[in-house]
């Protein structure tokens, strides 16, 4: 058996390429949308991809299952569990098979057994993998967003991101049952390979370890005690508390992954715009996504541009803040454009219509800068009450310690909370170190705010000066 | 004035970017179809391309004039000389101006004066360029295919390539007049910048020097004496004799350049095919263009593939031998695909539908090899009369010295002369060193010939052994 | 905890980057010699490498432990087990600590406990890793060449490769005890991460799965039954039988890894040679390593060159066949030179003095080709006894089925068996598909053989024709 | 003949590759120090470089003549004109020939005739090139820094850059004679190919045209009238007036080019430093050269770094401001490091000891920013006399129009004029658009100035606001 974990760092997303060497066939589980990596793997190993499977209808990225099936002629294996809202659609023209708990997919010596594991979502399935050439029992459990390393999938994602009220608690109870009946009944030695690693918004406290075992989680996971004692209520409460904010684009991903997304066929890199073409695109409503780092953006940028630095969190912030209904132009170095476009396509942002390599020759008139204050200057403003402090970190970071009286709006959500931000006095925006505040400020400046200043160095700089910190909710939050 | 000669080696094609720094505007003369190079030049110099001009309706490559006008909004300046057959068509939707002898194009301090210089083609114009900031007279002459360095344009191109009988001699006489009345009336010091350098099929003996002067050509060009003595008949005879073979695709280029070609808008690189997609394309009639070098092709290749090595003559041989009505698949290293596609697009071969990076994983069953004979083995076959010798070099090379009794068919024309090649006994194919014979053999093998062997090292190896050489036409050629 | 498996496919070699996020420090276990990958990992995660450890004195690649310690100032942790022959030397100038069974290395919340696990080598140690932030017990076992996925390290490596007679059996017995006392006493759920994956010459039947668990191996490993029943004799016999050939360079690696190797400091890419420099290097004794594929090499190559195609087995074949005492010149495309040099440096082949991008301009006179025979032609020669058949696959492949009467010499060992290959009649060389035979033929041609022909398509082509196959040893082998 | 103009944009430097196709040999005139471009040209054309020549001892870049001779074994042809101070030294070990006016270099059909043309420097020679296969007279004149397109070499370079007082005027008179006796005696039609194009500091008003002709310059050059009328005094005065500032590194280049520079042999790209190595280098005195653009530098940079943006003027500003006696570390994207190192090596800055790809992970503590003022803010300060205005453009730009009362110090010379810049009140620094002021500010901040602010958008922004401008010298300059 060839077992390969293919990991995409931007989305912290794991997919699996499993091949039978004797038969020369392979299956891919949970592929991402830019599928060349799987085609390359098949070619390198002299294998043919004959099956593509999904653990569930993903919310955080656009699935590549249909894309890969189209390119290779492989059969799709998709969950037939869950109610009407969770049934795949638009599968005409594909060779597909809907599967249920207990069904098996065979690939030469290899067998994948479907295990229905609802909780994160109702239709969620996992796959027990047996390498028949090596063992008489399954040794691997592909758990998707069911069990992570040291954590489990969150059942509240759609309630949080798409406002599907009342779905979180039933999901948590289903999760309890799935753990008890499906996970903990497996032998200790079975390896657990999940659909996400550290950094994903799909779980609470994901560690930076790729895999775990049933026995290890049984003993050391945070939820292990609740299961051992049968404390379902405690489990539900713990699971639903303290989950991080979820991006709004998740609802869109969910729908597209269920109903079908455009098949790319080929991934063409957009071309460099001439200055004339660039002006034309802007005048037609395109948004300039400035992917330079925060320092360059602060030093000078084009009015109206949003700053999402090309870095490991690029796709995450793009998902939070970029619109799905506008054309996008990237400001990026030519060497990086291809990779950035891939990152956008992974979450369905397909509307990149070109790029510009820099501002020289493209910017007309004066550039806009981001005003900066040092921690000392911010403290002076804060003491006199002359400025609002806007903390754009996550709620958990905020609760762990913030500038007294600071308001908290997650950077990805500022555009949905415009009325909570004053326009009549200075607003000092900060995060931990300055990346998120740059992104949030750029989005707000694009929305017309001209009273924002950035706290250079973020709350880290504030703390280094020994300035006061408050823990827990502030009065402001309580009232909000 | 900014004066930039932009040279494309594959086609030996020269275009010109001329800009006025004080006004920030530029004109491009005779652009090629992949126009990014001009856009880059404009951006680098902070200039806007406002005009695009052509010297004539090109036959050897697809013009980028319309493509560039589309991308920049520049005005097209095109010849209004020549009869109905030589009028541009399909210009609706472009901002264009037809020009005649004496017309002027102004760009800030710079003036281009149109000079009608028929001969190569009837509508051919040249441009006298004056840098008003530096001089009171023009200092540069953009001559297109009128005057080259040490040579002049051939008037027989379409008679030769497209069978337009009877056009060569009148063209030669027009050329005589253009030289006399338009070229030789200019001052000695004027620089001459032509549309082609060494290696083009548009002139007889192009040297590898980019530019010349009126005075230098007046004294040292091969045609100078005829003009000095007024010997038009001698001139016509000299000009029409000994011109090299012209590719058949020239007729197609001519038509597209006159009537309009597809606007690319963007140049997308085709993607790597999966083995399944590759088989699918082949079964649908696509042709595999094997761009590896001759050694690799000889060592093993896929049956039916044609060998056009990725090198400096790639586009030339592609023009000679690739069909315009079939899909193409490239066998090429991923790093080179982009450049090769550009080279094909320059001559209108737009139908590349994908590429494969190598044969591993793509070839099913045994590979075909190219049988090789050494010079000694070839001589033995030749002495016994057991093999035909097929010399695929140009006629001029053949006449300068060939294997006695060898048949001569230019490598680019073998497909049009299939009935002249025996199928019933071995055919030893050779050129000078082995590149052209590999291409010719691959084309013939694709057409069903199985009796071909390659003379390793070409006629060079034959000569190194001291084997006999014959000069002038062979009896065979005389009868042909 | 950050736990990252860093895998080098050419050597099938696994190293581990383990970091403590809260403290910002990291340890690297079994680094390879080109260390940039670890430095990048550290930077990406904002960590400082403070410790470097080795499981044992490696034989199959040059360790990067000292290189990495030098670049980062990290402390070296090396085994103090084993007798005098197995003690590290030349550690002056390094910050190092020799460790023994039970010693612990601490990194913030993380603890690595040393476990002495002799068998593969006497001084071999493994590391139990505990993530104190997540669990009260270790969850990971870094086993080096002790336990692989589905296999265990071979104790006969040096007897096989370096002629250290009598070391294999004692090693096998030590291995039995290490498994019994150190491995099988661990809980089922512990993950096992070894030092090699599929393709390494360090184990017998390595699968293509990166990790396993104690429980899985306890139940399903081939050796599990011997341990369960306490059958040490059966275990020893099984372990020592059927091990593949080991490269001779292993002895050299062993010595350098124990005593110290040159510190690279920086990895400079050799430059492209001019034709003059190339001739100069050859005349001074440099060997040309032709990294083109077998088809191109067969089509034409420079006399004296050895063919090691740039592919996934490049470093393996380089180790088998390239000399450590000659300068090397690569024939490779410029894009690949950097990667190839890295692969050579990983096994201590540091003497690449330049590269040439192709043969054009570098080859003087006629190129040498590799004569080819089809399966049918080979059968005719074989039937008449006019040729020797030389099978250059591994002994296990040979035993599983070969051309009757064929001689078997592993491709990597032909240079040590020159006297077993006839010079007076044709020798048909083959492997499975043609890669290894090309390499073997090139080495033999360099040694003066001129009677070799390659069986195109290898034994695969022979079998497809339905020609006879013999299993087990041939009479020839018995006598050898 | 193959005649190739090889142009390096950073230095606006032209070299020439001239080859005889029939003989397969070539000469290179005025090569730059990174010689791969010439080796590539030779290989592409199947030629051997057998001769390397120089027009004079260059001052603005390090010659590659010795480097190229070393790599190819070519013979060096160097001027034997000029007095003792201008004799080449350190030529032991090279195959060289010193040449004088009238000497000839022959290459197959090609002849280069040496013409002594002092003026720019005393030993300066030019080469008349005759293509014997095409013409009975020379057609090309390689003029080095004697005659440029529309201009002539400046004779005051060393007086200006190295303080060699009294050398400018005699040089101007020699220039007059060289023009009269050597240049104007040639026929009109001869092409003139100089050693520099636009942008070089070696001439007064270089246009962006690569070549000219004797006849064109005779009629239209600014100096033509002085020669026609024999007005040597007027010529000298005109030539010596208004020459731009010359970099101090010119004196160093001159000396190295005369006496010999280190032979690189190979051009190794420095490696990426770890954070520890970076701190180590800084503590040992290395200077961080921050090659990001001015916006990023202004947004945040490491204290002590100098900002020289990676752009077309990189090597020019590096020459002006980087020290030759300190190690250098580059802050640059990995893709660009190679090119930047080449640019530095071209002017002898060989001490790059590593690079860092960004500030993340490398900067400890707070970053320094560059304070910005808008034109309006600057005007307010200026009106109240609260700030000094420092104009760092060239003197000619300053004289053409500046902010009234502004002080003028060329950006490249600020470090030599530290005492002219006040430390006790704000200094508003500006150039035309902001690049040079960023570089100047970074150098001054590194020298301890903390009272500098940048005028965003430079004097362009000032003028757009309609604020006052003064022409000619200011009172301040008169007194200076």
- pLDDT tens-digit profile of A61-119? 999 999 999 999 999 999 999 999 899 999 999 999 999 999 999 998 899 999 999 99
Helices C314-321 and C334-345 sit at what angle, rounded to 10 degrees? 60
Q: Which chains touch B (3 or more CB pairs under 8 A)?
A: A, C, D
Which pLDDT score is estimated for D33? 95
Q: Which chains touch C (3 or more CB pairs under 8 A)?
A: A, B, D
**CATH number 3.40.1030.10 is the correct assignment for the domain at C2-259:** no
Which residues in chain A touch residue C150, judged by CB atoms under 8 angstroms apart?
134
Q: For residues A125 and A55, is the Cβ–Cβ distance under 8 A?
A: yes
- C2 and A209 within 8 Å at the Cβ level: the answer is yes
Please report the DSSP string for B61-90 in residue order.
S-B-HHHHHHHH-PEEEEE--S-GGG----
Q: For residues B463 and B469, is the Cβ–Cβ distance under 8 A?
A: yes
Residue D280 makes CB contacts below 8 A (sequence gap 6+) with none
Q: For residues A54 and A74, is the Cβ–Cβ distance under 8 A?
A: no
- pLDDT tens-digit profile of B200-229? 444 444 458 999 999 999 999 999 999 999
Q: How far apart (Å, rounded) are the C-alpha atoms in residues C156 and C162?
A: 10
Which pLDDT score is estimated for A92? 94
- Residue D177: how many CB atoms within 10 A of its CB? 13
Q: For residues B212 and D236, is the Cβ–Cβ distance under 8 A?
A: no
- pLDDT tens-digit profile of C464-477? 899 999 998 875 55
Q: For residues D359 and D331, is the Cβ–Cβ distance under 8 A?
A: yes
Residue D42 makes CB contacts below 8 A (sequence gap 6+) with C274, D17, D19, D26, D48, D49, D72
- D21 and B191 within 8 Å at the Cβ level: the answer is no
Closest CA–CA distance from residue D453 to any residue of chain B (Å): 27
Closest CA–CA distance from residue D459 to any residue of chain C (Å): 41
- Is residue B131 classed as helix, strand or coil in its secondary structure? strand
CA distances from B453 to B298, B373, B377, B448 (A): 10, 7, 11, 14
Which pLDDT score is estimated for C198? 62
Going by pLDDT thresholds of 50, 70 and 90, the confidence category of residue B477 is low
What would the CATH number be for the domain defined by D372-465? 3.40.250.10
Pairing between strand B352-356 and B388-391? unpaired
Any D CB within 8 A of B460 CB: no
Sketch the domain layout of chain C as residue ranges.
Answer: 2-259, 275-356, 372-465
Share of chain C above pLDDT 90, in %: 74
Please report the DSSP string for A123-178 in residue order.
T-EEEEEEETTT-SS--EEEEETSEETTEEB-TTHHHHHH--TT-HHHHHHHHHHH
Any B CB within 8 A of C371 CB: no
Among all chains, which residue has been given the structure tokens 């602060």?
A: A298
Q: How many CB pairs under 8 A join A and B?
A: 45
Measure CA B7 to chain center. Answer: 13
Q: Residues D326-355: what's their mean pLDDT?
A: 94
Residue D347 makes CB contacts below 8 A (sequence gap 6+) with D11, D60, D61, D62, D249, D253, D315, D318, D319
Going by pLDDT thresholds of 50, 70 and 90, the confidence category of residue B378 is very high
Which residues in chain D touch residue A293, judged by CB atoms under 8 angstroms apart?
296, 358
Q: Residues D349-360: what's their mean pLDDT?
A: 93
Q: For residues B246 and B60, is the Cβ–Cβ distance under 8 A?
A: no
Any D CB within 8 A of B187 CB: yes
- B209 and D131 within 8 Å at the Cβ level: the answer is yes
Mean per-residue pLDDT over chain D, rounded: 91
Sheet-wide strand order for D125-131: D104-107, D110-116, D125-131, D140-144, D191-194, D212-213
Going by pLDDT thresholds of 50, 70 and 90, the confidence category of residue A328 is very high
Strand partners, A15: A6
Going by pLDDT thresholds of 50, 70 and 90, the confidence category of residue A200 is very low
Domains B275-356 and B372-465 share a fold: yes
Any A CB within 8 A of C210 CB: yes
Any D CB within 8 A of C279 CB: no
Q: For residues B115 and B99, is the Cβ–Cβ distance under 8 A?
A: no
Class of domain D275-356: alpha beta
Task: List the Cα angle D477/D478/D480 in 5-degree steps.
Answer: 60
- pLDDT tens-digit profile of C279-332? 999 999 999 999 999 999 998 999 999 999 998 889 999 999 999 999 999 999
- pLDDT tens-digit profile of A421-443? 999 899 999 999 888 999 999 99
Which pLDDT score is estimated for C475? 56
Query: What one-character DSSP code corresponds to residue A247?
Result: -
Closest CA–CA distance from residue C39 to any residue of chain D (Å): 7
Which residues in chain C touch residue B461, judged by CB atoms under 8 angstroms apart?
366
Task: List the Cα angle A469/A470/A475 in 5-degree steps.
Answer: 140
Q: For residues B272 and B356, is the Cβ–Cβ distance under 8 A?
A: yes
Q: How far apart (Å, rounded) are the C-alpha atoms in residues D227 and D175?
A: 11
Closest CA to B45 of A425, D312, C4, A403: D312
Q: How many CB pairs under 8 A join B and D?
A: 98
Any C CB within 8 A of A432 CB: no
Q: Residues B6-33: what's their mean pLDDT?
A: 93
Most confident listed range (A258-272, D104-118, D158-172, D350-364) = D104-118
Residue of B43, B48, B335 best to disrupt the A interface, most CBs of A under 10 A: B43
- pLDDT tens-digit profile of B421-446? 999 889 999 999 888 999 999 999 99
Going by pLDDT thresholds of 50, 70 and 90, the confidence category of residue A157 is confident
Q: For residues D299 and D363, is the Cβ–Cβ distance under 8 A?
A: no
Mean pLDDT lowest among C4-13, C295-304, C455-464, D162-171 = D162-171
- Token pair of B270, please? 């085709």
Any D CB within 8 A of B277 CB: no
- D268 and C268 within 8 Å at the Cβ level: the answer is yes
Closest CA–CA distance from residue A356 to any residue of chain D (Å): 15
pLDDT at A46 over 60: yes
Q: For residues C444 and C436, is the Cβ–Cβ distance under 8 A?
A: no
Of residues C257 and B165, more confidence is placed in C257
Share of chain D above pLDDT 90, in %: 73
- B274 and A36 within 8 Å at the Cβ level: the answer is no
Sign of CA dihedral D39, D44, D47, D53: negative
Q: How far apart (Å, rounded) are the C-alpha atoms in residues B52 and B27?
A: 5
Q: Among all residues of chain D, which has the CA nearest to that of B44? A: D312
Q: Residues D357-377: what's their mean pLDDT?
A: 86
Closest CA–CA distance from residue A66 to any residue of chain C (Å): 27
Which residues in chain A touch residue D457, judged by CB atoms under 8 angstroms apart?
366
- pLDDT tens-digit profile of C166-188? 889 999 999 999 999 999 999 99
Closest CA–CA distance from residue D326 to any residue of chain A (Å): 27
Closest CA–CA distance from residue B300 to any residue of chain C (Å): 6
Going by pLDDT thresholds of 50, 70 and 90, the confidence category of residue D360 is confident
- pLDDT tens-digit profile of C68-105? 999 999 999 999 998 998 999 999 999 999 999 999 99
Within 13 Å and on the Cβ side, how many CA atoms surround C205? 15
Which pLDDT score is estimated for D200? 45
Share of chain D above pLDDT 70, in %: 96
Going by pLDDT thresholds of 50, 70 and 90, the confidence category of residue C251 is confident
Phi, psi values for residue A194, rounded to 5°:
-90, 175
- A272 and B36 within 8 Å at the Cβ level: the answer is yes
Q: Among all residues of chain B, which has the CA nearest to that of D132? A: B220
Please report the DSSP string for D49-117 in residue order.
EEEEE-SS--SSS-B-HHHHHHHH-PEEEEE--S-GGG-----TTS-EEEE-TT-EEEETTEEEEEEE-
Which pLDDT score is estimated for A166? 82
pLDDT at C14 over 50: yes
Please report the DSSP string for D185-202 in residue order.
TS-TT-EEEESB-TT-TT
State the Cα torsion C210-C213-C217-C219 to the nearest 10°: -140
Query: What one-character DSSP code corresponds to residue B271?
Result: P
Which residues in chain D touch residue C274, judged by CB atoms under 8 angstroms apart?
39, 42-43, 71-72
Q: For residues D373 and D381, is the Cβ–Cβ distance under 8 A?
A: yes
Q: How many CB pairs under 8 A join A and C?
A: 99
Q: How far apart (Å, rounded) are the C-alpha atoms in residues C352 and C291?
A: 13
Mean per-residue pLDDT over chain B, rounded: 91
Which residues in chain D touch residue B207, judged by CB atoms under 8 angstroms apart?
1, 131, 134
CA distances from C33 to A104, C181, C264 (A): 44, 33, 9
Any C CB within 8 A of A7 CB: no
Q: How far apart (Å, rounded) are the C-alpha atoms in residues C329 and B462?
A: 31
- pLDDT tens-digit profile of D237-282? 999 987 777 887 888 899 999 999 998 877 677 888 988 889 999 9
Helix (H) or strand (E) holding A379: helix A375-384
Any A CB within 8 A of D298 CB: yes
- Token pair of A99, please? 């599967």
Helices A435-446 and A314-321 sit at what angle, rounded to 10 degrees? 30
Q: How many helices (H) and strands (E) does chain D have?
A: 17, 24
pLDDT at D197 over 90: no
pLDDT at B331 over 60: yes
Q: How many CB pairs under 8 A join B and C?
A: 53
- Token pair of D262, please? 């280190």
The interface pTM score, or ipTM, of the predicted complex is 0.91
Q: Which chains touch D (3 or more CB pairs under 8 A)?
A: A, B, C
Mean pLDDT lowest among A265-274, C235-244, C281-290 = A265-274
Which pLDDT score is estimated for D313? 87
Q: Residues A162-186: what's their mean pLDDT?
A: 91
Q: How far apart (Å, rounded) are the C-alpha atoms in residues B155 and B347?
A: 21
Pairing between strand D372-373 and D452-455? parallel
Pairing between strand D151-152 and D147-148? antiparallel
pLDDT at D476 over 70: no
Of residues A201 and C468, more confidence is placed in C468
Going by pLDDT thresholds of 50, 70 and 90, the confidence category of residue A476 is low
Closest CA–CA distance from residue D3 to any residue of chain B (Å): 5
pLDDT at A479 over 60: no
Which pLDDT score is estimated for C252? 87
Q: Among all residues of chain D, which has the CA nearest to that of C359? A: D43
Which pLDDT score is estimated for C199? 47
Q: Among all residues of chain A, which has the CA nearest to that of B275? A: A43
Going by pLDDT thresholds of 50, 70 and 90, the confidence category of residue C202 is very low
Which residues in chain C touch residue B296, judged by CB atoms under 8 angstroms apart?
292-293, 295-296, 299
Query: What one-character DSSP code corresponds to residue C411?
Result: G
- Cross-chain CB nearest to A39 (options B72, B267, B274): B274
- D215 and B3 within 8 Å at the Cβ level: the answer is no
- pLDDT tens-digit profile of D198-243? 644 444 444 589 999 999 999 999 999 999 999 999 999 999 987 7
Which residues in chain B touch residue D216, judged by CB atoms under 8 angstroms apart?
135, 139, 189-191
Q: Among all residues of chain B, which has the CA nearest to that of A266? A: B271
Q: For residues B79 and B125, is the Cβ–Cβ distance under 8 A?
A: yes
- Token pair of B127, please? 């441009």
Which pLDDT score is estimated for A208? 86
């Amino acid at each position: 058996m060839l077992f390969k974990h293919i990991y995409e760092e931007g989305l912290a997303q794991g997919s699996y390429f499993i091949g039978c060497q004797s038969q020369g066939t392979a299956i891919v589980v949970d592929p991402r949308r830019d599928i060349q990596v799987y085609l390359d793997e098949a070619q390198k190993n002299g294998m043919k991809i004959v099956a593509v499977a999904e653990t569930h209808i993903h919310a955080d990225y656009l699935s590549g299952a249909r894309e890969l099936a189209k390119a290779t002629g492989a059969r799709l294996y998709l969950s037939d569990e869950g109610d009407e809202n969770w049934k795949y659609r638009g599968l005409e023209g594909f060779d597909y098979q809907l599967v249920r708990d207990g069904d098996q997919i065979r690939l030469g010596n290899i067998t994948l057994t479907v295990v229905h594991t609802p909780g994160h979502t109702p239709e969620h399935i996992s796959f027990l993998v047996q390498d028949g050439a090596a063992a008489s029992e399954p040794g691997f459990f592909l758990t998707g967003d069911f069990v992570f390393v040291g954590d489990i999938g969150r059942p509240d994602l759609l309630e949080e991101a798409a406002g599907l009220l009342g779905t979180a608690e039933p999901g948590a109870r289903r999760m309890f049952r799935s753990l008890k009946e499906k996970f903990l009944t497996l032998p200790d030695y079975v390896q657990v390979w999940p659909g996400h690693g550290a950094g994903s918004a799909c779980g609470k406290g994901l560690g930076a370890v790729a895999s775990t075992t049933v026995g290890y989680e049984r003993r050391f996971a945070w939820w292990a005690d609740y299961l051992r004692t049968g404390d379902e209520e405690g489990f539900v409460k713990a699971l639903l508390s303290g989950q991080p904010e979820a991006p709004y684009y998740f609802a869109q991903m969910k729908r597209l992954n269920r109903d079908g997304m455009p098949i790319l066929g080929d991934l063409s890199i957009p071309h460099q715009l001439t200055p004339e073409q660039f002006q034309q695109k802007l005048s037609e409503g395109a948004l300039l996504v400035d992917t330079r780092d925060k320092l360059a953006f602060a030093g000078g940028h084009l009015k109206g541009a949003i700053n999402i630095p090309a870095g490991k969190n690029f796709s995450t912030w793009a998902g939070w803040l970029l619109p799905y209904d506008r054309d996008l132009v990237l400001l990026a170095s030519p060497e990086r454009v291809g990779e950035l476009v891939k990152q956008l396509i992974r979450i369905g942002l397909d509307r990149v219509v070109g790029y510009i390599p820099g501002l020289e020759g493209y910017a007309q008139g004066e550039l806009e800068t981001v005003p900066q204050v040092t921690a000392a200057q911010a403290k002076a403003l804060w003491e006199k009450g002359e400025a609002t402090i806007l903390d754009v970190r996550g709620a958990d970071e905020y609760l762990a310690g913030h500038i007294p009286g600071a308001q908290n709006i997650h950077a990805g959500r500022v555009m949905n909370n415009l009325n909570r931000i004053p326009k009549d006095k200075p607003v000092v925006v900060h995060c931990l170190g300055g990346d998120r505040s740059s992104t949030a400020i750029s989005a707000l400046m694009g929305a017309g705010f001209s009273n924002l200043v950035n706290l250079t160095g973020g709350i880290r700089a504030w703390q280094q000066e020994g300035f006061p910190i408050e823990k827990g909710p502030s009065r402001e939050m309580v009232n909000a």
